Every structure is written in structure tokens, then in C-alpha cells.
Amino acid sequence: MLSQILSKTFDVFLGSENFVLIPIPSSKQKVRERGFDSVANLCARVARDKRSIHFDDSNLFLRRHVVDQVGLSALQRHSNLEGAFGTRKVINGTVVVVDDVVTTGATLNSAARALKFAGAQRVIAVALCGTPLTR
């Protein structure tokens, strides 16, 4: 099960360190289409089993509309997501932000900037899978 693999990964790299687990928010349209938010559900499942993990799926949000990243070049992806994320409250300590797929890192980079601006001392990015780099 993917949640067990993710949990073991956290054990190996973070040990018993306390951290906040934040999924990259899915667009409302994607959640409506699927009927659920797969990354948020996965993160919630992992956090239920560990006392050292605080799950927070309400802090990070998209401040503005972004276009679907499929087919965009690396430069277009970074431009599309520049300043796109915001936070609703101050955050402290270590944050682990999780996304389903990483291609250029634009989403994780933009989210990490917002979380650092909100006070996170350290942001660790985790992607469940990757794609070949698009130029």
C-alpha cells in the first residue's frame, strides 16, 4: 500500500522528528471530476498512524487560477505557478509537502516559497512519481 511506503520513507529520512504534512491542493474542478483528492487522502492516512505527523490540508491554497500544466514547457510551468500559492496561517518547524507527479518542480517550488514565507523553517518536497523533463 502506498501509504505504508510513504510512512516508511518518512521513518528513514525524518525518524521521529515532528513535522507538518501538507498535500499540494488539487483544483476544485479535479476534485469534482474524481470525487476525491487522492494526495490529501493519502497524506491523511499516513498521518493517522504517526504521532509525530500533523496533517494540514487547509493551510496551503491556490490564490489564483492557474492553467492545466499538461503540455506546458518548463518555463511556462514556472511562470504559470509563480506566486500562485498562499497560506492561511503561520506555520513553524519542518513541513513536508506532497504532490502526485513532478515534471519540472514548478508546483513544489511555488508551494515551498509560500510555506517558507509563512514561517516554515524547512520544507521537504515529496513526489509520488516523476515524468521526463519537458523543455
Residue 91 confidence (pLDDT): 94
Please say if the pLDDT value at position 34 is more than 90: no
Q: Per residue in 84-101, pLDDT tens?
A: 899 999 999 999 999 988
pLDDT at position 68, please? 76
Q: Convert the chain into a string of H (helix), E (strand) and C (coil).
A: CHHHHHHHHHHHHHCCCCEEEEECCCCHHHHHHHCCCHHHHHHHHHHHCCCCEEECCCCEEECCCCCCCCCCCHHHHHHHHCCCEEECCCCCCEEEEEEEEECCCHHHHHHHHHHHHCCCCEEEEEEEEECCCCC
pTM of the model: 0.87
pLDDT tens for 55-71 read 999 999 988 777 677 77
